[in-house]
């Protein structure tokens, strides 16, 4: 936003900053994904559960509520590597992570220069990225 906007609408700027710092919009995106996938009978109760889980994850830094688990990541790798060569190309790696919703992926993973990324690297990157995508709260300073 331009600087003159800041003087004009201080509250709007504040609001945007607040949403960004606390990653509120990502949080709601994840809510929607969860709701679409699970279609709970009582969405309110479901969201409360999700929030509780997220709160726990924030303290323990483990088990972020996420739609995908390791088996999903493996099966994606399997789909991209139907002949079981044991590796996928850099292009495939990027596309796959993007599809999973990982936005800030490592552009140069191990084996990237050879266009050969193996399952371990892929799983590690995907997990790291997904955890970051679902850790929708302010990073502690």
Partner 1 sequence: MDATKRPLLIPPEFATYAEKHGIFEMYTKLLEQLLINKPDDPLTFLIELLKRDSDDAPQVVIMGPPAAGKRTIAKMVCNRIRAAYLTMDNLIQEAEIEIRKKAQEYIKKNETIPTELWLKIIKERMKSYDCIKRGWVLEGFPQTREQALALQAEGIYPKHFVLLDAPDTVLIERAAGKRVDPETGDVYHTTFDWPSNAEVAGRLEPVPGNSEDELVNKLVVYHRHIEGLKTCYSKILKIINADQPKGDVFAQTITFLGSRLRNAAPHNPRVVLLGPTGSGKGVQAALLANKYNIVNISCGQLIKQAIVDETKAGLAAKPYLEKNMLVPDAILLNILKQRLGQLDCVSRGWVMHGYPKTTEQGEQLVHAGFTPNRVFFLDVPNDSVIERLTLRATDPITGERYHMLYNPPRTQEVKERLRRAPKDSPEEVQKRLGAYQAFVDELTDYYVDAQHVNADQDPHTVFECLESMMVNPIPQRFDD
The alpha carbon of residue 76 and the mean position of all alpha carbons in its chain are separated, in whole angstroms, by 16
- Near partner 1 by CB under 8 A, which window of 1-9, 63-71, 98-106, 121-129? 98-106
Q: Is 8 in the site for partner 1 (CB under 8 A)?
A: no
Query: What spatial distance separates the first Cα and last Cα of the chain, rounded to whole Å?
Result: 25
What's the CA gap between 61 and 51, in Å, rounded? Answer: 14
Distance, in Å, from the CA atom of 29 to the CA atom of 43, rounded to the nearest integer, reads 15
Phi, psi of 88 (to 5 degrees): -125, 170
Nearer to partner 1 among residue 9 and residue 28 (C-beta) = 28
* CB nearer to partner 1: pick between 11 and 85: 11
Distance CA 103, CA 49 (A): 26
DSSP 106-140: -SS-TTTTTT-EEHHHHHHHHHHHHHHHH--SPPP
Question: Do residues 100 and 92 make contact, with C-beta atoms less than 8 angstroms apart?
Answer: no
Q: Between residue 30 and residue 89, which ones bind partner 1 under the rule CB under 8 A?
A: 31-32, 35-36, 39, 43-44, 47-48, 51-52, 54-55, 58
The minimum distance between CB 26 and partner 1, in angstroms, equals 8
Minimal distance in Å, beta carbon 63 to partner 1?
15
Residue closer to partner 1 (CB basis): 97 or 117 = 97
Number of chain positions touching partner 1 (CB under 8 A): 28
Return residues touching partner 1 (CB under 8 A): 14-15, 18-19, 22, 24, 27-29, 31-32, 35-36, 39, 43-44, 47-48, 51-52, 54-55, 58, 98-99, 101, 103, 137
């Amino acid at each position: 936003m331009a600087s003159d906007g800041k003087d004009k609408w201080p509250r709007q700027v504040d609001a945007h900053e607040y949403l960004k710092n606390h990653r509120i919009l990502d949080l709601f995106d994840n809510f929607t994904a969860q709701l679409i996938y699970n279609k709970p009978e009582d969405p309110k109760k479901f969201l409360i559960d999700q929030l509780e889980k997220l709160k726990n994850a924030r303290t323990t830094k483990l088990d972020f509520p996420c739609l995908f688990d390791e088996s999903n990541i493996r099966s994606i790798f399997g789909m991209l590597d139907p002949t079981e060569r044991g590796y996928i190309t850099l292009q495939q790696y990027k596309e796959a992570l993007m599809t999973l919703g990982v936005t800030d992926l490592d552009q140069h993973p191990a084996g990237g220069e050879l266009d050969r990324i193996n399952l371990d690297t892929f799983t590690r990157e995907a997990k790291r990225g997904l955890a970051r995508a679902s850790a929708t709260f302010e990073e502690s300073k």
